[in-house]
Chain A
């Protein structure tokens, strides 16, 4: 036979998953939240997001091309995703130079020195965000007032910051509840906050899309949110005057953005469901601890970064359920 045949070991077929497809799917899942941010914050949202995405891609391109001199990696969409997620964690009023700086830290400090996609220990977008939060605390925590929902009392403050401030002044929750945005406003995004975190519903729509496309599994988001609900619920039941309800914790701040899109980052999360349980519970506990007892009003970013650091250990010691080790049912 004159025809040349390919000889390779099995399997001879391959699934549809590709790194670029998975990354692109996460970007698609974030589009509803992006749309809400544009509606609420207007052109600012477009500028911040655009600048962040372009900077991240550009930094990765420059580093890969001129420092590492490796093959082009920006076509795997991971830098786009990092840029998008970083922008979603920023206020719409952040100065441009600070955004670019955040992108630089995300890509040139948190990602590429470790070897690029797949090898970084910490979530690059969150490293970028926390860097900015610590370096520029004022700019990072001042938000443009959202006209529809905010009353004068809390213009420009996120609901979490507002609650924290009020409790510190010795006010009871019953006094400040009327000034907080309603749950329906929080569901649709009419409240202050980072660009991508404000619309709970849009984030949940994206979550359903990711589950349908089998990009992520339900484990990490459910473990994180479940732990936060349980922990804040216990506190709330113990003292309703000082601990706000679990529902508020879930809707406010970066809970959904963090639990669905940041904690599930492939590279920096555990490799099996048992590990994911430890990781998710850890994030939930630390987030509520920081929110309720810590100095910062929001603790999601810190919680995820802290748990990122435990992932190599979790992977080393927590093994999947092996076949044939379960006690035989007779």
Chain B
């Protein structure tokens, strides 16, 4: 029996069309649009103005507080505007637009391919470099990495878990990184271990990536304390809480952070970015993005500069197919349908999925037949059907009692529902309502 999480889970077809496509350097676009809010927390504050000349890797917006992140220019050229532009969802958000001119890098960045495997810096220096490089969780949550590495007083990290699960169907960017950037990744893991002061790191990989498991297993002997953990394929194993349960068998209590059980989880892409930041002085200005879909001509994995228009990536893979009716920013389970393909790739963009008409349309909802499938698949042990019904009646106090806020929005319930009820849509509303009530209660108590 291979390891996996203990409660719920579904088995969608993994559809990893681009698993064999090596990472391809996308090259420079003509312009980039770099939003100042690419992370969870306060938007960064711009420090360039229209007409400024910038270099690749130069800071263009600085972190506004602890839970925030620096933003760097991913190209060299002239700032043509600092203004609100529509993001992928169509919301206007502040961004820096840069006209690309050449590719001049800021000083101090090591652009060579040479592997720098000795970790000389202290934990404090490592975290400082990571903070400066603007690294955020690259699995999609975009939580600033330096915050995760700052262990709250009284708590102690016991192990680092590297998330190489990539349980979202279609996406392959982490898979390719594990295959092609493996040594750098492993050094990154060691750096993270040092920053946290832990001896043990696990790399959790689902068994649908046997090549990555074998490859990394062959390399880890050189990296003491690092262990590859093959996991049974099951969605949503890449969820932080599920992954910790799968790898070390501990369940993070409701409402608590992973550090409560002594674990810190970092994504594969993040570990690579950490390597580049600490060993090469290179800030987070590019990432691997999967472009895929059943009728996409050439599903691919591109190494893309942050700020490149999503459109350009789709164009490179053969354009929007005629039968495409939905473009998803991310994977099909948790990604967001985008309305604006001119929006840029950001630090959290793991993939672009072009869905065909028949996949894009939701089946018509019928009535709940109490089949209990939603309860059986919920990885948090909730009762989705019940929270759904409570949300429909806006019975928020009851929804809170039934732990609506524990929902991780993985979508397993909606996926499994034979009546095709919009379970998660309603549960999200319940969650938002419950959180609002909780905030108001907290203010009153103060």
Instruction: Write the residues of chain A forming the contact surface with B, with a CB cutoff of 8 angstroms.
Output: 1, 3-15, 17-19, 21-22, 76, 78, 116-119, 217, 266-273, 319-326, 328-330
Q: Which residues of A contact B359 (CB under 8 A)?
A: 12-13
Q: Which residues of A contact B368 (CB under 8 A)?
A: 118
Q: What's the dominant secondary structure at chain B's contact region?
A: loop
Are B251 and A326 in contact, CB atoms less than 8 angstroms apart?
Answer: yes
Are A19 and B369 in contact, CB atoms less than 8 angstroms apart?
Answer: yes
- Among the interface residues A11, A76, A267, A273, which one has the most CB atoms of the partner chain B within 10 A? A11
Complex CA–CA separation, A320 to B375 (angstroms): 8
B334 located at the interface, meaning its Cβ lies under 8 Å from any Cβ of chain A in the complex: yes
Are B418 and A324 in contact, CB atoms less than 8 angstroms apart?
Answer: no
**Which B1-57 residues have C-beta < 8 A from chain A?**
7, 10, 12
Q: Which of B122-130, B276-284, B380-388 contacts A (4 or more CB under 8 A)?
A: B380-388
Complex CA–CA separation, A8 to B383 (angstroms): 23
Given contacts A1-B320, A324-B252, 20 further A-B contacts (CB under 8 A): A8-B337, A10-B333, A11-B334, A12-B360, A13-B169, A13-B415, A15-B10, A15-B12, A22-B371, A116-B367, A217-B376, A271-B383, A320-B382, A320-B383, A322-B380, A322-B381, A322-B403, A323-B380, A324-B254, A326-B251
Known contacts A6-B326, A7-B339, A12-B359; decide if A266 and B369 are in contact (CB<8 Å).
yes
Complex CA–CA separation, A17 to B10 (angstroms): 12
Q: Which of B223-231, B295-303, B419-427 contacts A (4 or more CB under 8 A)?
A: B419-427
Q: Which residues of B contact A18 (CB under 8 A)?
A: 363, 418, 420
Counted as pairs of residues, one from A and one from B, with CB atoms less than 8 Å apart, the total is: 168
Are A271 and B420 in contact, CB atoms less than 8 angstroms apart?
Answer: no
Interface 1/0s, chain B 313-344, versus A by CB < 8 A?
A: 00000001000111110101111111101100
B261 located at the interface, meaning its Cβ lies under 8 Å from any Cβ of chain A in the complex: yes
Are B250 and A328 in contact, CB atoms less than 8 angstroms apart?
Answer: yes
A-B contact pairs, 20 of them (CB 8 A): A1-B311, A3-B320, A5-B339, A9-B428, A10-B409, A12-B355, A117-B367, A117-B369, A118-B370, A271-B370, A272-B376, A320-B382, A322-B381, A322-B382, A323-B380, A323-B406, A324-B252, A326-B251, A328-B250, A328-B253
Known contacts A15-B12, A271-B375; decide if A324 and B253 are in contact (CB<8 Å).
yes
State which of B325, B369, B412, B425 has its C-beta within 8 Å of the C-beta of A118.
B369
- Among the interface residues A1, A22, A76, A323, which one has the most CB atoms of the partner chain B within 10 A? A323
Are B373 and A17 in contact, CB atoms less than 8 angstroms apart?
Answer: yes
Q: Which residue of B lies closest to A322 (CB)?
A: B381
State which of B7, B335, B337, B386 has its C-beta within 8 Å of the C-beta of A6.
B337
Complex CA–CA separation, A141 to B209 (angstroms): 60
User: Chain A's nearest CB lies how many Å from the CB of B249?
Assistant: 5
Q: Which residues of B contact A118 (CB under 8 A)?
A: 367-370, 419
Known contacts A320-B383, A322-B382; decide if A8 and B411 are in contact (CB<8 Å).
no
User: Chain A's nearest CB lies how many Å from the CB of B359?
Assistant: 7
B416 located at the interface, meaning its Cβ lies under 8 Å from any Cβ of chain A in the complex: yes
User: Chain B's nearest CB lies how many Å from the CB of A258?
Assistant: 19
Q: Which residues of A contact B422 (CB under 8 A)?
A: 9
Complex CA–CA separation, A76 to B256 (angstroms): 43
B361 located at the interface, meaning its Cβ lies under 8 Å from any Cβ of chain A in the complex: yes
Are B411 and A266 in contact, CB atoms less than 8 angstroms apart?
Answer: no
User: Chain A's nearest CB lies how many Å from the CB of B51?
Assistant: 30
